[in-house]
């Protein structure tokens, strides 16, 4: 008689909780729920509700991963918030101290224990730069060099190898400027081909992607550009023009989601380094000016503006990611 052990060389394990991480095709018996289970892979990316942020903010910045994220700044309820909140994959915790300069529409990047905040807007645009050590923010003497000061820029990279690009000074015309930060000072990088603001940005200082946004001439942009540490190159456009979107991942494996131009959307598109694919599942809450963190296979979208500023958080599981399925007789 053929058995599972005879075919695979091992028996089905009996465990009290589902194993982690999962391997595709793995089978086990959960003796706490009395169910046989299987590790399969997703065929399409899916969004699921995460813990709600303590403060509802739009025009905020984000950093980190799906299970260790950081949210800071924002535009509600005041013109600029100092709030700083940490996510552990389940719930958010408010940090006792926030940004030294309360602001919205700022650039932000890094990880939960080492992040960077720069530029943005109070009642006016500011050039302040702050570094985060996991507990508190420290004002940096290195101000963001765009002149005049700008807001609504995108960011990529880490606290000691950061990239800021695009944005807008006071007035309608956005900039194509790019600046690189080494942890202590900023230097000028290559200009973007298309000046824009409120776009998705992700990746590293030497391998970044800018997607969408708007230039105040057209309702929204579909243009996408990649950065190699020296210059920007136009690449495959988004399937649809969108502004106010956010993103996560790397230059070769990323995603863009949400947006509010031309209308609030939860649409999600996946990037494989050369082309975009529309994901069949959208965010539950359509919104723009939200923040993002994580990767294409484990992304996070939080905050933003729908009919009002929101603290809603959603977790993205990308296609091809291992998921647990219960084996039934049906």
Q: Which of 28-42, 201-215, 310-324 has the highest mean predicted lDDT (pLDDT)?
A: 201-215
> What is the reported pLDDT for 73?
97
The ranges of the chain annotated as CATH 2.120.10.80 are 46-317
Q: Interior CA angle at 158 toward 152 and 161, to 5°?
A: 100
Helix or strand holding residue 247 (H, E): strand 246-249
Provide, rounded to the nearest whole percent, the portion of the chain with pLDDT above 90: 81
Residue 324 has pLDDT above 60, yes or no: yes
Of the ranges 43-47, 245-249, 295-299, which one carries the lowest mean pLDDT score? 43-47
pLDDT at position 327 is 84
Question: What average pLDDT score do residues 276-289 get?
Answer: 97
pLDDT at 242: 98
- pLDDT surpassing 80 at residue 56: yes
Q: Region 302-306: what's the mean pLDDT?
A: 97
Does residue 2 have a pLDDT over 60?
A: no
pLDDT given for residue 3 in this prediction: 53
Confidence of residue 179 (pLDDT cuts 50, 70, 90): very high
Q: What is the structure's pLDDT at 8?
A: 52
Model confidence band, residue 291 (pLDDT cutoffs 50, 70, 90): very high
Between CA 321 and CA 111 the distance in angstroms is: 22
What pLDDT is stored for residue 219 in this prediction? 87
Mean pLDDT of 87-92: 98
pLDDT bracket for residue 243 (50, 70, 90) = very high
278 and 267 Cβ atoms separated by less than 8 Å: yes
Architecture label for domain 46-317: 6 Propeller (2.120)
Q: What is the pLDDT of residues 62-85, one digit of tens each?
A: 999 999 999 999 997 677 899 999
Q: Rounded to the nearest 5°, which phi and psi values hold at 7?
A: -80, -45
Query: What is the C-alpha separation between 110 and 72, in angstroms, rounded?
Result: 12
pLDDT of residue 77: 67
Residue 322 has pLDDT above 80, yes or no: no
**Which range, 2-11, 22-31, 314-323, has the best average confidence (pLDDT)?**
314-323
* Helix locations, the chain, DSSP H: 4-8
Q: Which of 36-50, 125-139, 233-247 has the lowest mean pLDDT?
A: 36-50
The pLDDT assigned to 75 comes to 92
The partner residues of 7 in beta bridges, in order of sequence, read none
Angle (CA) 312 94 49, round 5° = 25
Burial class of 140 by CB neighbour count within 10 A (0 to 12, 13 to 18, 19+):
buried
Quick check: 209 and 226 in contact, CB under 8 A? yes
Name the band, by pLDDT with cuts 50, 70 and 90, for residue 320. confident
Average pLDDT of the segment spanning 127-145: 98
Distance CA 217, CA 283 (A): 28
Q: What's residue 297's pLDDT?
A: 95
By the 8 A CB rule, do 12 and 31 touch? Answer: no
Determine how many CB atoms are found less than 10 A away from the CB of residue 264: 17
**DSSP secondary structure letters along 144-197:** ---SS--BS-EEEE-SSSEEEE--B-SSS-----EEEE-SS-EEE-PPPSS--B
pLDDT above 70: percentage of residues in the chain = 96
How is the beta sheet containing 254-259 ordered, strand by strand? 246-249, 254-259, 265-271, 276-278
Q: Which of 243, 233, 251 is nearest to 295 (CA)?
A: 251
Q: Chain centroid to CA 63: how far?
A: 7
Calpha distance 95→79 (Å, rounded):
20
Answer for the pair 271, 255: CB distance below 8 angstroms, yes or no.
yes
**Quick check: 5 pLDDT over 90?**
no
């Amino acid at each position: 008689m053929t058995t599972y052990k005879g075919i695979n060389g091992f028996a089905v394990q009996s465990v009290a909780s589902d194993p982690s991480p999962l391997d595709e095709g793995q089978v086990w018996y959960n003796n706490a729920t009395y169910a046989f289970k299987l590790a399969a892979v997703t065929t399409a990316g899916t969004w699921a509700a995460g813990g709600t942020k303590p403060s509802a903010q739009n025009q905020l910045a984000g950093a980190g991963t799906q299970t260790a994220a950081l949210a800071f700044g924002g535009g509600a309820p005041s013109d600029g918030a100092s709030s700083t909140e940490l996510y552990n994959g389940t719930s958010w915790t408010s940090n006792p101290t926030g940004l030294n300069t309360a602001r919205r529409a700022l650039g932000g990047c890094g990880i939960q224990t080492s992040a960077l905040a720069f530029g943005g807007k109070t009642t006016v645009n500011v050039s302040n730069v702050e570094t985060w050590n996991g507990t508190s923010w420290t004002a940096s003497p290195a101000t963001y060099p765009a002149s005049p000061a700008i807001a609504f820029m995108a960011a990529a990279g880490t606290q000691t190898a950061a990239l800021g690009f695009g944005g807008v000074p006071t007035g309608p015309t956005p900039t194509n400027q790019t600046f690189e930060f080494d942890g202590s000072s900023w230097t000028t990088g290559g200009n973007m081909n298309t000046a824009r603001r409120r776009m998705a940005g992700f990746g590293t200082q030497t391998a970044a992607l800018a997607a969408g946004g708007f230039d105040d001439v057209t309702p929204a942009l579909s243009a996408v550009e990649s950065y190699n540490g020296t210059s920007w190159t136009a690449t495959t456009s988004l399937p649809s023009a969108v502004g106010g979107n956010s993103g996560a991942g790397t230059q070769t494996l990323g995603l863009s989601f949400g947006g509010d131009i031309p209308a609030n959307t939860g649409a999600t598109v996946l990037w494989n380094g050369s082309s975009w694919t529309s994901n069949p599942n959208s965010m539950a809450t359509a919104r723009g000016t939200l923040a993002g963190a994580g990767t294409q296979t484990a992304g996070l979208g939080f905050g933003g503006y729908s009919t009002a500023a929101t603290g809603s958080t959603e977790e993205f599981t990308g296609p091809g990611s291992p998921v647990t399925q219960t084996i039934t007789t049906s």
